[in-house]
């Protein structure tokens, strides 16, 4: 990551990097890794903040002309999706500022009570503003057009997980353009992280009489986790021939597992076990932490070559943990992988157009606000 930053600083600049499709794609790849590692370890960004702000401005200028070239939504949505990812990466520096502030609070001594409370108040304000900006963007016309859904028809998909996963008790969400689901999963993961991890850490340091212990606006972390699970279930059924879908959704599914209701925990865990099939086994430390967090020690010995016998229909998933009858099944299928399929968003491009055509045949599209939009509207503002 540091090497990539040094190359861009030496041979490019923010405007030049964002002026071509290849440059924007490479910059997006870099931002994804930088956000992941810098947030986890509270590192500082290796590129100045202006790189992301300039990328944001260049995209806005290009959108005004490029969106007009696309006549149909099938052509327009993929181009818009590229820009909404740019919006998400634009908030990376603000998120890292909050994360670094939370780490700073943890290191402050008890004797610094007054200063600690003051700093916590500042961080609480910053976090709320970050959440407000992001929520506003997710409700913008641009996002709504990208996130158009279609009616889920279970008879059109074959259940590939009857022998390896619990029954999913909710209706999956299916998007007009499947990769849009990955973007919404990443967005929900960010908002769950704000509500589940960062905001409680800040609130714990606020003075009880300050009146600042107010939940963030909008949906709760649990509600967002449920929606995230519905989206992944839809992606998994739509892209049944691509088990690699779990790779870009690995971290969001872990976050969702910490916030979802008990009835979905085992289902989430079994989805994470599918990482074994694509050559990225679930780390033992994650397995152990989930088992402890959920008070389900049996998860430490539950592996992907075992399955849980279930009766289809109305099932209490939480109660299944009391009767985990593990049965050996034969490993089937070719273990050979095409490296292109494991490249995050690239796995969707192989059958994107074909999948859209299959989904649209015989499916009715809801008349959502996005669907009623008269034409492409590029809204680049928080």
Q: Are residues 80 and 61 in the same domain?
A: no
Predicted pLDDT of residue 380: 36
Question: Residues 134, 219: one domain?
Answer: yes
The pLDDT-based confidence of 86 (bands split at 50, 70, 90) is confident
Q: What is the structure's pLDDT at 376?
A: 40
Provide Rg for the chain, Cα atoms. 22
Q: N- to C-terminal Cα distance for the chain?
A: 28
Boundary (domain end) residue, out of 44, 69, 94: 69
Judged against a pLDDT cut of 80, whether residue 323 lies above it is answered with: no
How confident is the model at residue 41, as a pLDDT? Answer: 65
- Flag whether 125 is in a domain: yes
Residue 342, domain member (yes or no): no
Q: What average pLDDT does this structure show over 75-84?
A: 86
- pTM to 2 decimals? 0.74
* pLDDT score, position 243: 83
332-346 pLDDT, tens per residue?
Answer: 444 333 333 333 343
Check whether residue 157 and residue 290 sit in a common domain.
Answer: yes
pLDDT in tens, 151-164: 888 766 666 777 77
Q: What confidence score (pLDDT) does residue 85 get? A: 87
Same domain, 100 and 8: no
Whether residue 48 sits in one domain with residue 101 = no
Flag whether pLDDT at 202 surpasses 60: yes
Domain-located, residue 101: yes
Averaged pLDDT, 374-379: 40
Same domain, 11 and 126: no
List Cα–Cα distances, 45 to 2, 38, 41, 116, in angstroms.
9, 7, 11, 25
Does the residue 345 lie in any domain? no
Q: Are residues 62 and 194 in the same domain?
A: no
What pLDDT sits at residue 318?
44
What is residue 267's predicted lDDT score, i.e. its pLDDT?
Answer: 92
pLDDT of 230-287, one tens digit each?
999 999 888 878 888 888 899 899 999 999 999 999 999 989 988 888 888 888 888 8
Domain containing 29 equals: 1-69
- Is 373 inside a domain boundary? no
Residue 39 within any structural domain of the chain: yes
Q: Which residue among 34, 50, 69 closes a domain?
A: 69
Say what the pLDDT of residue 221 is: 94
Q: For residue 129, what pLDDT is reported?
A: 93
Higher pLDDT, 352 or 249: 249
Is residue 95 classed exposed, middle or buried when 0-12, 13-18 and 19+ CB atoms within 10 A define those classes? buried
Position 53 pLDDT exceeds 80 = yes
Considering the chain, what percentage of its residues have pLDDT values greater than 90? 23
Co-location of 145 and 278 in the same domain: yes
CA dist list (Å): 127 to 38, 121, 215, 307: 17, 10, 12, 42
Flag whether 123 is in a domain: yes
Percent of the chain with pLDDT over 70: 74
For 22-52, how does the pLDDT look when each residue is reduced to its tens digit (9 = 90+)? 888 888 888 887 877 766 666 677 788 888 8
Which of 57-71, 289-303, 344-358 comes out lowest in average pLDDT?
344-358
Residues 56, 133, single domain; the answer is no
| 93-102 mean pLDDT | 87
Mean pLDDT to the nearest integer, 74-81: 85
Residue 144, pLDDT score: 92
> Residue 250, Cβ neighbours under 10 Å: how many?
17
For residue range 100-132, what is the model confidence (pLDDT) as tens digits?
888 888 888 877 778 888 899 999 999 999 999
Q: Which helix (H) or strand (E) holds 306?
A: strand 306-307
pLDDT at 379: 39
The domain total for the chain is 2
Measured distance CA(171)–CA(148) in Å, rounded: 16
- Location of structure tokens 């994470």: 272
Average pLDDT estimate for 163-171: 85
* Residue 381 in domain: no
Greater confidence (210 vs 119) lies with: 119
Looking at residue 40, its pLDDT comes to 66
The pLDDT, as a whole number, for residue 152 is: 86
CB count in 10 Å sphere of residue 111: 8
């Amino acid at each position: 990551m540091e090497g990539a930053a040094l190359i861009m600083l030496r041979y490019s600049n923010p405007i030049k990097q964002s002026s071509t499709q290849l440059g924007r794609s490479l910059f997006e790849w870099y931002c994804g890794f930088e956000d992941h590692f810098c947030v986890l370890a509270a590192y500082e960004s290796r590129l100045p903040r202006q790189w992301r702000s300039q990328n944001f401005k260049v995209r806005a200028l290009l959108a005004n002309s490029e969106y007009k070239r696309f006549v149909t939504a099938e052509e327009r949505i993929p181009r818009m999706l590229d820009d909404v990812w740019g919006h998400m990466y634009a908030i990376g520096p603000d998120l890292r500022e909050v994360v670094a502030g939370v780490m700073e609070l943890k290191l402050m001594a008890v004797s610094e009570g007054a200063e600690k409370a003051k700093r916590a108040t500042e961080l609480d304000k910053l976090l709320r503003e970050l959440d407000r900006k992001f929520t506003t963007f997710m409700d913008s016309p641009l996002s709504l057009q990208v996130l158009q859904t279609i009616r889920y028809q279970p008879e059109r998909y074959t259940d590939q997980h009857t022998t390896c996963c619990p029954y999913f008790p909710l209706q999956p969400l299916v998007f007009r353009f499947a990769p849009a689901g990955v973007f919404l999963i990443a967005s929900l993961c960010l908002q769950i992280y704000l509500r589940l991890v960062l905001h409680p850490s800040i609130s714990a340091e606020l003075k009880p009489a300050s009146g600042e212990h107010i939940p963030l606006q909008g949906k709760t972390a649990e509600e967002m986790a449920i929606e995230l699970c519905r989206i992944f279930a839809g992606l998994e059924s739509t892209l049944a021939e691509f088990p690699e879908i779990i790779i870009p959704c690995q971290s969001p599914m872990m976050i969702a597992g910490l916030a979802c209701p008990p009835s979905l925990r085992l289902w989430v865990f079994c989805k994470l076990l599918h990482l074994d099939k694509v050559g990225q086994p679930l780390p033992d430390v994650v397995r152990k932490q989930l088992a402890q967090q959920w008070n389900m020690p049996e998860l430490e010995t539950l592996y992907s070559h075992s399955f849980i016998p279930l009766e289809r229909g109305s099932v209490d998933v939480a109660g299944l943990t009391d009767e985990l009858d593990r049965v050996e099944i034969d490993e089937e299928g070719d273990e050979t992988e095409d490296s292109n399929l494991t490249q995050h968003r690239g796995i969707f491009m192989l059958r994107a157009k074909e999948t859209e055509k299959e989904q649209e045949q015989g499916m009715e599209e809801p008349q959502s606000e996005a669907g009623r939009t008269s034409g492409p509207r590029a809204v680049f503002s928080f």
